[in-house]
Amino acid sequence: MASSASVAASTCSTVTPGAVSRRVARPSGKPITASSVTTRSTGRSEVSGTRLWGWARDRFGTPERFFARFFVGNYCPLCFVDEGGRNITPDKLGASEREPLLEACDEALRQVTQYLRPRWVVGIGGFAQKQAERALAGMDVRIGTILHPSPASPLANRGWATEAEKQLRALGIELPTGP
């Protein structure tokens, strides 16, 4: 199926559609319980997602206008947290936990890319770009990257949206002039 989407992005803040099943070993350490998961009720916000989706809203005006050209998929739609509730990114997992997980994530990314057939896959951050380059090697798709909107990035804290737009334009990806 051909898609009108010109860009598919790989990030760590949204959900990838479709079912991909693969056994992944249970991580060592204390399991996470329902009561240990931080929720919106705590008042904590997810800055990266807020920046990404706030930019899409401000630049495109409506979800329909954004999704007519763009798709955002999560390379790894799982959340790992330490005992203090801090996010653990997949690259920080041990090899025995990480490798089978990344194999499943690679396969999901390949399936989404084959289905949507975008011209571009843009990794939101260096990790997402590296994973896309490896998973999509040999496929007919261009791969680029933009700055991750993480608050851990000093550059992202000085104007993530402006920098991301500059990087998208440098890739040759056109953006609308306003909502």
Domains, the chain, with CATH or none: 7-17+45-170 (3.40.470.10)
Residue with tokens 């680029």: 144
Q: What pLDDT does 83 receive?
A: 81
Tell me, what DSSP letter sits at residue 10? E
Q: What pLDDT does 85 receive?
A: 77
Angstrom distance (rounded) from CA 164 to CA 72: 14
Burial 166-176 (b: 16+ CB within 10 A, else e): eebeeeebeee
- Tokens standing for 88? 């653990």
pLDDT string in tens for the chain (179-residue length): 333 344 455 443 333 344 444 555 665 666 544 444 444 445 556 789 899 999 999 999 999 999 999 999 999 988 888 888 778 888 889 999 999 999 999 999 999 999 999 999 999 999 999 999 999 999 999 999 999 999 999 999 999 999 999 999 999 999 988 77
Q: What pLDDT does 139 receive?
A: 97
